[in-house]
Chain A
Amino acid sequence: EVQLVQSGAEVKKPGESLKISCKGSGYNFTSYWIGWVRQMPGKGLEWMGIIYPGDSDTRYSPSFQGQVTMSADKSSSTAYLQWSSLEASDTAMYYCARPTGYPHWYFDLWGRGTMVTVSS
């Protein structure tokens, strides 16, 4: 089965670091980009950026450039999203999703999401 499996919910304090994961299976992980999408509580969807696991080429949305770091490990078919210093405003559901590929950057496969809660 083609799927993206995300890591479990996280509860962190402001200033802490965090790395969440998204493991792809059932397809050639290195041949498709992986995107990340944020959804703050009760709000809409925001595209954060994409990474190509084949060579770790990464493109960030200007709104998230410098705020998060995307990475990928080909050997484990896993993409990561990390923060060095969390803020309360990072509280959100984070989805990984697979775009079909150039030039069709719509997301046809989604993970179930990782809920990140940042609270003192």
Chain B
Amino acid sequence: EIVLTQSPGILSLSPGERATLSCRASQGFSNNYLSWYQQKPGQAPRLLIYGASKRATGIPDTFSGSGSGTEFTLTISRLEAEDFAVYYCQQYGSTPWTFGQGTKVEIK
């Protein structure tokens, strides 16, 4: 099973700042099949990024994904008030598909 480790656990930033979230895999997997989700309290997760770098429908270009192999990054270029949430990465290149433990982006 591939373990995804996200860092940092908590990221304290101010609106307008840049957020950089990391997702590291215990081993490589197919085709950079990595996605990112945003989850707000009391809500279901929402797909942001798939294929490591492709934005899902309706996701603003302030969100970008990058990386390959075992190191992946989600960048939010300028934090808006609605971006403060928990973010999860997921690999779907190797079963069982696995999620990272999450990074909480909180208001500083």
* Chain A residues with a Cβ under 8 A of chain B: 37, 44-47, 59, 61-63, 95, 97, 99-100, 103-108, 110-113
Contact = CB atoms under 8 A, between A and B. Distances in A.
Contacts of B57: 108
A47 B97 contact: yes
Contacts of B96: 47, 61-63
Contact of A106 (B39, B43, B44, B90): B90
Interface of A, helix, strand, loop or mixed by DSSP? strand
Contacts of B98: 47
Interface of B: 1, 30-31, 33, 35, 37, 39, 43-47, 50-51, 56-57, 88, 90, 92, 95-102
A108 B50 CA distance: 9
Contacts, number: 65
Contacts of B33: 103-106
